[in-house]
Structure 1
Amino acid sequence: MPEKPEFSFRQTLHMRRNFIGRSCKLHFEAAPLKIVRASRQYLYDDTGQEYLDCINNTSHVGHCHPHVVGVGQEQMAKLCSSSGFLNEQTTMYAKHLISTLPESLCVCFFLSSGSEANDLALRLAAAYTKKKDVICLDGAYHGNLGTLVEISPVRYKKIGSAHQPREWVHVAPTPNTFRGKFDAKTENPGLLYANELIKVFQKAYQDGRQIGAFISEPVISASGMVIPPENYFPCIYRYVREQGAICIADEVQCGLGRCGEQFWGFQLHNVVPDIVTIGKPVGNGYPLAAVITTKEIADSLMDFTSTFGGNPVACAIGRAVLEVIENEKLVSSAKNVGKCLKDGFKAIQPKHPMIGDVRGVGMLIGVELVMDKESKKPAREAAEILIYKMKERKIIMGTEGKDKNVIVLSPPLCFTTDNARYVVQHFSEVLANIESEAASVGLTNLDEVGSTNVPLDVITDEPSISIHALSDEDDEEDEESSAAKRARYEEVD
């Protein structure tokens, strides 16, 4: 039986609506969840219901990992202070983190959030180049601080004409080969998109502006897990540096092995940035972030302090996260499980007229929903309905992209291939029902709607899992079933 909470669901919701800012949105705002505990890739609400977490990349190595929790508890019992004192945890963590990066990236600054890290990256770029202006992408999101809102068009565009971009911010097209100016059928789209960014440079110079930095995620998550095409980043990085500017890689979403192929997202594109920023996943939920850069760039900033950045508890936890990634081979797991997810969605794509695109790498997957594949009109309402219907089936998903029509998956790296197949099968059944409803009112072609029973043995040698294996029809559970839903880490040393 679940523990009796101090406040009921209604009391908690009432207090939130009274005491928390209205702009602080909840997942599933129309029917929010009260989550009281978590373990590995599972969340548990106040009634004891278990949910499969497909979006919580903050808990990078899994919710409440015992090694991470144990190390944090041990260090907190010894010392938890501001970062102005010499301590081994900070230096050992910096050394371990740097060992995962190219040789040129050898100096760390520690902070408490990805937003702080990106803000510091802009300060470092301006200090080193003596130029404040920045180029970002039109689908970008880099954080909540004032400077970062200005380089996050995907957020400030919601404000509409009331927001005027700052003169020091220059926006280039997102290299999206599904919905952008140059699609995947275009010859060398990476070079063509790079040329678009070069035009932004040239326009800035004509206006008397000097560019100091180019910032981008290696996988553009806020645009719906857009993977820039081949040759894009090598061309951009080369040109940026020729103009005396530097390159910033925002690895908050895609770093630390999430991309599967490599430990860092920029390595997928065969480039080395001048500054790397990382945030929430490095502490597995504990506030920790870092900026890693070259010695020359680091030395250009004469003064920097962060009260909590680099404190011994945060750095002990950061070290523990790196140890778990290595010991549990989570980079390899991200590659294999991510392939299962992506292959599964691609296998069902022909059966679903609303699946316009499936993209991603490792444990960063985006499924873009459209009203029809010819017009590519964004199916925003269908996407919203789908994530609520998946929630009813105890699977948590989210949406991203300018039109919020891209279903995104970025689960903890302990996600399994069984989880992946289970998610795809439920997704297919739910989407088929939505498509049938849409067809009944003439919004899509009924002839194109596939069967709701999609066998996934097309992507695996293992037999297909029944979509009713974890039915939510029954609220009553026997004692054995309840015991199986206890903390999934109990057997881990």
Structure 2
Amino acid sequence: MVNNASMDIGALWTCGTKLSLHTKPQMPPCDFIPEKYKALPYNRVLEIHEQHLSPVVTAYFKKPLLLHQGHMEWLFDSDGNRYLDFFSGIVTVSVGHCHPKINTEAQEQLNRLWHTSTVFFHAPVHEYAEKLSALLPDPLKVIFLTNSGSEANDLAMLLARAHTNSTDIISFRGAYHGCSPYTLGLTSVGSYKTELPVGTGCQATMCPDVFHGPWGGSHCRDSPVQTTRKCSCAPESCQAKDLYVEQFKDTLNTVVAKSVAGFFAEPIQGVNGVIQYPKGFLKEAFQLVREKGGVCIADEIQTGFGRLGSHFWGFQTHGVLPDIVTMAKGIGNGFPMAAVVTTPEIAKSLSKRLLHFNTFGGNPLACAIGSAVLKVIKEDILQENSHEVGTYMLLKLAKLRDEFDIVGDVRGKGLMIGMEMVKDKSSRQPLPREEVNQIHEACKQMGLLIGRGGIFFQTFRIAPSMCITKPEVDFAVEVIRSALIQHMERRAE
């Protein structure tokens, strides 16, 4: 187990029964000293979890981490061990754990007013609405505040259907748009599907994945790192995009009604392992949906708020203007908060049909925190940092792809990165889950926390807080490289 920054983690590395001789990566310094853990013992936490919490197995690692405290890009467990957090609470802690500026704003609001509801006015919600709307292009200026991404996407589905008087909504295979009964229809990842009747009226279309799909190659995606697949596309004309558009047309001509309610798209798929589409695809798909009478929804729950670096919103990287935008996760730096932003026309379509009400959406504390997040992103120049440090990390990870045959693909933009593990580059078949688990565990043992994604959980999802530095990237890449070397040693035994 990792101890505080000084412990020689390398002494604990083993490959079967043979001690590894590799030099351990040196964890960057951190001047924050966590409080001593004084809460429930670990074994008691396990007992309570087994007896009273959801039986669905979601915890990472053979021995789940019992986290105690966080500071910026760092997490500390109940034993005082320090970890570099490169998954950010599932792409949620946008500007850093317990960011001091946000803590100050939250504490001031906490002392002033925790909660009131939309039947009363309060300044924080109006201040936040003005700040958020200023970051979105016309006519996206009407904001519905909610509590989670699933709830935001629920509402976006309702808005689309109320405005169009149609039912069918299209999403990509591999899409994740939430786990509520309504959004489960949109989510198209096998492990989230159920035999129970949920989310009716949703249809999944082919994901234009240039690494695993039938078309695509080395010129197709908006990333500093391209797939190593050979590409027949010209630099200014993506043949793969055209072929995927034909598949999208086939969906519109066969499995939905003559008119549709809408189309949901993540600018980059998150849960499916940071999947990027061919350049220009979304622009043509949006046009086709609108010709069918539908509206276009950008799910920015993981991609928004500057994480992609080059733009504040993911949809801007595709050169499109959605009719509805949903956002959550990084909006509150981990505080439960979400939003749906749409046009006045679409908003009025809903108000004519029902009285929409949300008890906790837009409460004073959430809005004060949301405003503080926007302030920190601007003052700390975090969007620019995402671009610079994210590009730096992508290029370093690409060198690992060139070094190891089991690293099939490295992709992403800014600080939303996927590293897909394969049996070998020629087959592109997913590396077995138990082998991916071993690499994942080894990274944790060396003090690095990363995520997992993909249909077969074969892709490492790397999405740190936007405050990270290049020295921390250097450490993370060396940890991953060391974990890969350990794994290759195990294979050779």
Distance in 2, Cα, partners of 1:424 & 1:327: 28
Say if 2:169 and 2:262, in contact at 8 Å, map to a contact too. yes
Deviation at residue 210 of structure 1 after TM alignment: 3.6
> Greater shift after overlay, 315-324 or 188-197?
188-197
Tell me the alpha carbon deviations over residues 328-366 of structure 1, each in whole angstroms, 9 at most, x when there is no partner. 000000001101110001122221010110000000000
Q: Structure 1 residues 181, 165: closer, same or farther in 2, change over 3 A?
A: farther
* Secondary structure, counterpart of 1:368 in structure 2: strand
Distance in 2, Cα, partners of 1:167 & 1:111: 22
- Pick one of 293, 296, 307 that aligns with 2:345: 296
Q: Report the residue type matching 2:115 in the other structure.
A: S
The number of equivalent residue pairs is 435
Q: Report the residue type matching 1:183 in the other structure.
A: G
Deviation at residue 2 of structure 1 after TM alignment: 5.0
- TM-score calculated relative to the size of structure 2: 0.86
Q: Report the residue type matching 1:288 in the other structure.
A: M
Say if 1:354 and 1:435, in contact at 8 Å, map to a contact too. no
Question: What are the within-5 Å matches in structure 2 for residues 49-448 of structure 1?
Answer: 49-56=81-88, 57-84=91-118, 85-155=120-190, 159=194, 162=195, 168-184=201-217, 185-187=231-233, 188-205=239-256, 208=257, 210-302=259-351, 303-379=355-431, 380-440=433-493
Deviation at residue 425 of structure 1 after TM alignment: 1.1
5+ unaligned residues in a row in structure 2: which ranges?
A: 1-33, 218-230, 234-238
> Greater shift after overlay, 2-11 or 275-284?
2-11
2:221 aligned partner: none
Q: Structure 1 residues 54, 376: closer, same or farther in 2, change over 3 A?
A: same
Distance in 2, Cα, partners of 1:166 & 1:112: 20
Q: Report the residue type matching 2:58 in the other structure.
A: K
- Pick one of 74, 77, 84 that aligns with 1:42: 74
* Secondary structure, counterpart of 1:6 in structure 2: coil
Distance in 2, Cα, partners of 1:280 & 1:257: 13
Q: Report the residue type matching 2:178 in the other structure.
A: G
* Secondary structure, counterpart of 2:423 in structure 1: coil
5+ unaligned residues in a row in structure 1: which ranges?
A: 441-493
Q: Report the residue type matching 1:402 in the other structure.
A: I
Deviation at residue 24 of structure 1 after TM alignment: 5.4
Distance in 2, Cα, partners of 1:269 & 1:329: 23
Say if 1:2 and 1:47, in contact at 8 Å, map to a contact too. no
* Secondary structure, counterpart of 1:191 in structure 2: helix
Deviation at residue 157 of structure 1 after TM alignment: 5.9
Deviation at residue 437 of structure 1 after TM alignment: 2.3
- TM-score calculated relative to the size of structure 1: 0.86
Deviation at residue 145 of structure 1 after TM alignment: 1.0
Distance in 2, Cα, partners of 1:314 & 1:155: 33
Q: Report the residue type matching 1:49 in the other structure.
A: N
Q: What's the % identity of the aligned pairs?
A: 34
**What is the RMSD of the two structures over their aligned residues, measured on CA atoms?**
1.6
* Secondary structure, counterpart of 1:153 in structure 2: coil
Say if 1:2 and 1:46, in contact at 8 Å, map to a contact too. no
Between 1 and 2, higher relative CO (CA 8 Å, sep ≥ 6) is seen in 2
